[in-house]
Amino acid sequence: MPQNKRESLIYTTMVCALMVIWMSTYNVTLHTGNFGLEALKEAWLGFPIAYAYAMLFDWFAVSKLAKKFAYRFLITPESSSRKKIIAISCCTIVPMVIVMSLYGALEACVKSGAWNSLFVIWMTNIPKNLVMAAPFQLLIAGPIIRKLFRAAFPVGKILP
């Protein structure tokens, strides 16, 4: 886990990038009904704006609230690293899914012009995204990024 603000920013940047590209590909596939080069292309083309949106919300709002909630209700500073990782990740996944599902709904309304469907699209996106984001973050993205992060930045090598 990151040890200071600088490490936290680098770690968040890495996790956010992987989650956004994965979830973008998943959502394009859901909406088109096809997984292929076109879905990958559309996800990649939409990546920069979706990534900026996700980073802003994660860094400035969601991460702080998730940590506060986790430490208030789920864990203590003395809890094991594994318990902290799982608690904070779960507390981050839910609000990020809500925020990013809104982004996806806004994007769909911009493309279709069906602004009266915004709320319905947003609400139907949330469960679809939650069932993909939670296991992907907890079982794949989180462990991969933690391993890559610590390989690139051993504990104590990044100055605070």
Q: What is the pTM (predicted TM-score) of this model?
A: 0.91
CA separation, residue 7 to residues 52, 62, 92, 112, 113 (Å) = 19, 17, 17, 40, 41
- Residue 44: phi and psi, rounded to 5, are -65, -40
Rounded mean pLDDT of 14-31?
94
Residue that the structure tokens 């602004």 belong to: 115
pLDDT of residue 157: 63
Cβ 54 vs Cβ 28: under 8 Å: no
* Model confidence pLDDT, tens digit, residues 56-78: 999 999 999 999 999 999 999 99
